[in-house]
Amino acid sequence: MVCTTTLGGTAANVVVANVVHGLMRMTWVPTPVSDEQAFEAIRSGVDALPAGVKMILNSAQFYGMGWSTANLELLSRFYEKYPDYADRTFLMVKGAYNPEKSRVDNAPENIRRSVESCLAALRGTKTIDLFQPARIEKSVPIEETMKALVELKNEGKFNHIGLSECAAATLRRAHAVHPIAIVEIEVSVTSFEEEARKVLATAAQLDVAVAAYSPLCHGLLSGTVTKREDLDPHDMRMHLSRFREGNFQSNLAIAGAIKSIAAKRGCTPAQLCIAWVVSLGNKVLPLPGSTRRERTLENLAAGDISLADEEKSEIAYAMKAYPVKGGRYFDDAEADAILWG
Ligand SMILES: NC(=O)c1ccc[n+]([C@@H]2O[C@H](COP(=O)([O-])OP(=O)(O)OC[C@H]3O[C@@H](n4cnc5c(N)ncnc54)[C@H](OP(=O)(O)O)[C@@H]3O)[C@@H](O)[C@H]2O)c1
């Protein structure tokens, strides 16, 4: 059975599957998958849902090599070929990337430029259901960013407002300006930082949905990547701290523990990780990425797995016994400065 929930804020009446489909690795990889494979992966999830339930698709202005709009262009071809899927999907798009500055730039004029660029890439094939700045710039008051977003929303450029990688206090301030429908943060058994727990608690209080991104630690926990050589040398994961030589080998310990607990439960490691995220709250939606039909379906099915207390304790024990090595991104001060904005 597919488990459903509703979103927060202005999207409180939108019924969705409780597992989001992340599309990033369909295009932001050295060798993107074919349109046919990507389309099948997307359609399989949508087709598994009962009538009236939408599949959330997670994309971004910059999910292409060279920070291009390739992901949105892929979606435009998808919706052109399958127009019926526009109403059956809820498209969330991260943006506010400034190609001239090669970074997120939350100045109002850049947010506008970003939204226009996303709409141009979609070519009118699909409405942007929710737009969110990909990062919160600490130098720009969130109230100013929200004002710019509300103006664009009121102009009909998109329907709902979300935030990504924001701190709990920022979520509260932003929500006071205009209701936030979804907040997107990294949550997994390898990424359960104190600020993530605060965002989860604040979102629950405000009835905001949480899209919990990278629940499989980019494939490390699902067993997809068991050695660094499994990855293309140009795959961006090669630069992630947790995938670096030494850290990667050490992090196989938590992956091994998850694999054993999953085997006992009779599910796959990916499903166990997804079910653990689901256990964190009614509106906490795991956001795994998948480029293959069978994985989209496997991940969706995990939204209906309810973990027993004993299983949750075993996972908590593994998280303590095998602490992850390396930070969430590059362990680089400049990159870390834009986390939890
Ligand atoms: N807000 C942000 O800053 C931010 C940052 C990163 C990502 N995201 C979003 O989160 C999504 C997921 O992130 P992610 O791709 O970094 O990490 P992830 O979901 O933790 O891991 C994805 C990896 O796991 C594999 N996988 C997926 N389902 C599987 C299954 N059932 N069994 C075995 N392997 C499986 C995928 O393989 P295949 O691709 O081969 O299917 C891929 O290699 C992205 O698509 C994006 O939408 C947001």
- 309 backbone dihedrals φ, ψ, rounded to 5°: -55, -40
Q: What is the pLDDT of residue 130?
A: 99
Residue environment code for 52-69, b if the CB has 16+ CB neighbours within 10 A, otherwise e: ebbbbbbbbbbbbeebbb
Residue environment code for 279-298, b if the CB has 16+ CB neighbours within 10 A, otherwise e: ebbebbbbbbbbbebebbbb
60 C-beta closer than 6 A to ligand 1: no
Assign 238 to helix, strand or coil: helix
Which domains occur in the chain, in start order?
4-219+271-308 (3.20.20.100)
Task: Among 214, 226, 235, 299, say which to mutate for ligand 1: greatest number of ligand atoms within 8 Å of CB.
Answer: 214
CA 156 / ligand 1 centre spacing (Å): 30
Q: What is the DSSP letter of 323?
A: P
Q: What is the pLDDT of residue 302?
A: 98
235 C-beta closer than 6 A to ligand 1: no
23 C-beta closer than 6 A to ligand 1: yes
- Ligand 1, residue 298: give the atom nearest the CA: 31
DSSP characters over 21-39: EE-HHHHSSSSPPPHHHHH
Q: Which tokens go with 144?
A: 């100013």
Query: In angstroms, how far apart are the furthest CA atoms of the chain?
Result: 53
Task: Among 24, 300, 328, say which to mutate for ligand 1: greatest number of ligand atoms within 8 Å of CB.
Answer: 24
pTM above 0.95? yes
d(CA 49, CA 286): 16
Sign of the CA dihedral with 13 first, then 14, 17, and 18 last = negative
92 C-beta closer than 6 A to ligand 1: no
CA 143 / ligand 1 centre spacing (Å): 31
Q: Which tokens go with 200?
A: 């989860």
Q: What is the pLDDT of residue 334?
A: 84
CA 215 / ligand 1 centre spacing (Å): 7
215 C-beta closer than 6 A to ligand 1: yes
Residue 185's nearest CA partner among 18, 340, 324 is: 340
CA 332 / ligand 1 centre spacing (Å): 22
First to last CA, the chain: 37
Q: What is the pLDDT of residue 163?
A: 98
Q: What is the pLDDT of residue 335?
A: 82
Which residue has the least CA distance to atom 31 on ligand 1? Answer: 295
Q: What is the pLDDT of residue 318?
A: 98
- 12 backbone dihedrals φ, ψ, rounded to 5°: -60, -20
d(CA 40, CA 294): 9
Q: What is the pLDDT of residue 285?
A: 98
DSSP characters over 285-305: EEE-B-SSHHHHHHHHHHTT-
Helix (H) or strand (E) holding 111: helix 108-122
Q: What is the pLDDT of residue 199?
A: 98
The angle at the Cα of 214, spanning 247 to 23, to the nearest 5 degrees, equals 130
Q: What is the pLDDT of residue 1?
A: 85
Mean pLDDT by 10 residues, the chain (341 residues): 96 98 98 98 98 98 97 99 98 98 96 98 98 96 98 98 98 98 98 98 98 98 94 94 97 98 98 98 97 98 98 98 97 90 96
CA 213 / ligand 1 centre spacing (Å): 8
216 C-beta closer than 6 A to ligand 1: yes
